[in-house]
Amino acid sequence: MSTVTPSPAASATPSATPSTETRRFEAEVEQVLQLVTHSLYSHKEIFLRELISNASDACDKLRFESIADPSLSAGDSDYHLKIEVDKAARTLTLSDNGIGMTRAEVIDNIGTVARSGTRRFLESLSGDARKDTALIGQFGVGFYSAFVVADKVTLCSRRAGVDAAAAVRWESTGTGEYSIDTFNQAERGTRVTLHLKPEEEEFLEPWRLRSLVAKFSDHIAFPIRMLKEGDGAPEWETVNHAAALWTRPKAELSDADYQGFYKHAAHAYDEPLAWTHNRVEGNQSYTSLLYLPTQAPFDMAFSGREERKGLKLYIRRVFIMDASEQLLPAYLRFVRGVVDSDDLPLNVSREILQENRMVQQIRSGLTKRTLDLLDGLATEQKEKFDTFFKAFGSVLKEGIVEDFGNRERIAKLLRYASTTSTGQDATVSLDDYIARMPEGQDTIWYVTADSYAAAAHSPQLEALKARGIEVLLMFERIDEWVSGHLNEYAGKKLRNVAKGDVALDEAAKKQHEEVEKNAAPLVERIKQLLGDKVRAVKVSARLTESPACLVIDEYEMALHMQKLMRAAGQEVPDQAPVLEINPEHALLKRLAASTDDALATDLALIVLDQARLAEGGQLDDPSAFLRRMNALLG
Ligand code: ADP
Ligand code: MG
């Protein structure tokens, strides 16, 4: 939303500011303008949708500000938009009686790319022109799309509450410069006049404009008016539905209606993946229309938790504010849409929202709706669910930690790669895993690592693999944190293969004890050779192919987690690891047979360093490791 305080420049008398000035667009605006005018050709009609969307936002803003200061809209609270054409002058004009802009606001909003959407759009541009064209479709560029069909655009605006004499006129041909001057305008609001390019005369045809409104902007809650055609006296006629879309019965709404509304309400340019539209009646009555996007915004993973946007709060049809942060838990921050409450007071503030009990009720209601929607996709539209999970799965995972009450429901929605599935796509659910468990298995096994390859080839899961036991492969940054909170699902324990003892069946246990007994002298020797570099040395029940691996106690922090925490600058107590060895491996057989103490020490150190490397860990002295390896190979 733009700033709402009138700037000193705008409220000053025209003589106090240079009335007319010519300014250059910011360099980035020029880039956007060029791209837009050259590459939006196949969808040039979207300019109308963009301008209507802005005019509607402007009416929303004024209606909101008028709650606190009714004088702002005094004399005219019939918020509406008008579309007019002048065939002789070849102009198309869209006007609104919304909030309007001061001179400073026009400069800020139209002449710069402070807006996050445009910035993001620019940051995502690559040199590849074809890709760039596709990107424009994804982001849209709002106001600038006017230059796709116009070779000159004139915007006249007077902010509500500001003197008629301080209205502002902005004009540009979209090539580097714009002029801005102060003039007198009787009514408040904004008029955008497009001087159409010669080849764009179709946009002077009322039937064409009406059909575009019907197609893209029917859902706008304010009346969009056009002059009735014919020779009679001029008469305005409303050409859209002019009712807030979410207040209309579901049966009346088409997919196209919902899709069009998504783009307007969420300022989004992708297609919505799915939506859920509901009315709740009771001591808390509200309507919600929630969408899942198809694409993750660029900043979702990073700034996403702090600055959340996309869920608009209305109270009795009046737009109040974006309240994603108050109405949804952080792990559902990808949800877009609107909530319209019947019961909250119009003068509600952000602080009140934070604490209000009614708001908490709405919040848990919306959480449930969203999880229901995801459930439905997971069971009925797997492909869509996979698209969702690819884009937002790592965000959803935060819910395991954040939302204890819904932990089981969220866990049901999680997907992982596994030793049974192929490739690194996350497609295996915990339910899939359980359904495949052999008789007698009561544990869901997983491994955590830095990458798919490190997880899939982790020595720690060799024995489980050899016994045909599936292991979930977790290699997203967040998995370590999340898995620490997910100890149980559907009555089954979840366990990290690198932690504690591996449960063995009776026969395997006997065999393991036998190997242990035979290897006791070897274990003792390695312990002596490695000294305090290790906490303990054990014969492994995990390994079949690798010589050794590092393990940790059941309740100790996973090594991978220790690494992440150190990387984040946190103190983690330095503890020597437990080394598990595979006495069947050639390297250890050689160690056992060696009578040369120097060689045996080198071998023991190589075994330890290898185990560290397999873990994705860092060696204290990589060159010493290489020297030893080379000596062994040479
Ligand atoms: P967006 O709508 O995504 O913010 P636009 O390029 O469409 O981006 O518009 C840029 C800004 O210009 C808007 O955020 C708003 O502050 C301002 N603006 C555009 N059109 C109007 C209008 N008709 N009335 C008031 N402000 C407007
Ligand atoms: Mg816009």
Contact assessment for residue 582 and residue 546, using Cβ atoms and an 8 Å cutoff? yes
Domain segments of the chain: what residues?
8-241, 246-389, 415-496, 506-633
Percentage, residues of the chain above pLDDT 90:
59
- In three-state secondary structure terms, 434 is helix
- 269-282 pLDDT, tens digit per residue, is 788 999 999 999 98
Question: Which ligand minimizes its atom distance to the CA of 119?
Answer: 1
Please report the atom of ligand 1 found closest to the CA of residue 50.
7
Q: Is 268 in the pocket of ligand 1 (CB under 6 A)?
A: no
d(CA 385, CA 391): 10
- 153-173 pLDDT, tens digit per residue, is 999 999 999 999 999 999 999
Asked if the domains at 246-389 and 506-633 fall in one CATH topology, the answer is no
Average pLDDT for residues 90-111, to the nearest whole number? 93
Q: Tally Cβ neighbours within 10 Å of residue 430.
A: 22
Q: State the distance from the centre of ligand 1 to the C-alpha of 286, rounded, in angstroms.
A: 28
**β-strands 336-341, 311-315: how paired?**
parallel
DSSP 416: B
Residue nearest to atom 16 of ligand 1 (CA): 2
- 429-471 pLDDT, tens digit per residue, is 999 999 999 888 889 999 998 899 989 999 888 888 888 899 9
Q: State the distance from the centre of ligand 1 to the C-alpha of 28, rounded, in angstroms.
A: 17
**β-strands 311-315, 318-322: how paired?**
antiparallel
Beta bridge partners of 274: 292
pLDDT of residue 212: 94
Q: Is 60 in the pocket of ligand 1 (CB under 6 A)?
A: no
* CATH number of this structure's domain 415-496: 3.40.50.11260
Q: State the distance from the centre of ligand 1 to the C-alpha of 80, rounded, in angstroms.
A: 16
- In three-state secondary structure terms, 190 is strand
Please report the atom of ligand 1 found closest to the CA of residue 61.
25
Q: State the distance from the centre of ligand 2 to the C-alpha of 229, rounded, in angstroms.
A: 29
Contact assessment for residue 162 and residue 71, using Cβ atoms and an 8 Å cutoff? no
User: What single letter denotes the amino acid at residue 36?
Assistant: V
Fold entry, domain 506-633: Four Helix Bundle (Hemerythrin (Met), subunit A) (1.20.120)
Extract the runs of DSSP E, i.e. beta strands, from 431-489: 443-448, 471-474, 488-489
pLDDT of residue 14: 43
Contact assessment for residue 431 and residue 487, using Cβ atoms and an 8 Å cutoff? no
* Residue 409: band (very low, low, confident or very high) from pLDDT cuts 50, 70, 90: very high
Q: Is 143 in the pocket of ligand 1 (CB under 6 A)?
A: yes
Please report the atom of ligand 1 found closest to the CA of residue 143.
6
The answer on pLDDT for 547 being more than 80 is yes
Q: What are phi and psi of 206, to 5 degrees?
A: -55, -40
pLDDT of residue 178: 92
Q: Is 142 in the pocket of ligand 1 (CB under 6 A)?
A: yes
* CATH number of this structure's domain 246-389: 3.30.230.80
Question: Which ligand minimizes its atom distance to the CA of 104?
Answer: 1
The answer on pLDDT for 517 being more than 70 is yes
d(CA 325, CA 333): 8
Please give the full DSSP string across 491-554, using - where no structure is assigned. Answer: TEEEEETTBSPPP--HHHHHHHHHHHHHHHHHHHHHHHHHGGG-SEEEE-SS-SSSSEEEEB-T
Site to substitute for ligand 1 among 25, 47, 48, 57, most atoms within 8 A of C-beta:
57
Nearest Cα residue to 53 out of 290, 265, 245, 226:
265
Question: Which ligand minimizes its atom distance to the CA of 117?
Answer: 1
Nearest Cα residue to 546 out of 501, 586, 577, 519:
586
Q: State the distance from the centre of ligand 1 to the C-alpha of 107, rounded, in angstroms.
A: 11
- In three-state secondary structure terms, 417 is strand
The residues placing their C-beta within 5 Å of ligand 2, an ion, are: 53-54, 142
Question: Which ligand minimizes its atom distance to the CA of 109?
Answer: 1
Please give the full DSSP string across 41-83, using - where no structure is assigned. Answer: GGGTTHHHHHHHHHHHHHHHHHHHHHHH-GGGGTT-----EEE
* Residue 120: band (very low, low, confident or very high) from pLDDT cuts 50, 70, 90: low
Q: State the distance from the centre of ligand 1 to the C-alpha of 406, rounded, in angstroms.
A: 39
The answer on pLDDT for 16 being more than 80 is no
Q: State the distance from the centre of ligand 1 to the C-alpha of 115, rounded, in angstroms.
A: 10
From the options 3.30.565.10, 3.40.50.300, 3.40.50.2300, 3.40.50.20, give the CATH code of 8-241.
3.30.565.10
Tell me the two tokens of residue 546. Answer: 């690798």
pLDDT of residue 573: 73
Extract the runs of DSSP E, i.e. beta strands, from 108-210: 150-158, 167-172, 177-183, 189-196
Strands of the sheet with 417-418, listed across from one edge? 417-418, 471-474, 443-448, 492-496, 488-489
Residue nearest to atom 11 of ligand 1 (CA): 109
DSSP 290: E
Q: Is 58 in the pocket of ligand 1 (CB under 6 A)?
A: yes
Q: State the distance from the centre of ligand 1 to the C-alpha of 513, rounded, in angstroms.
A: 74
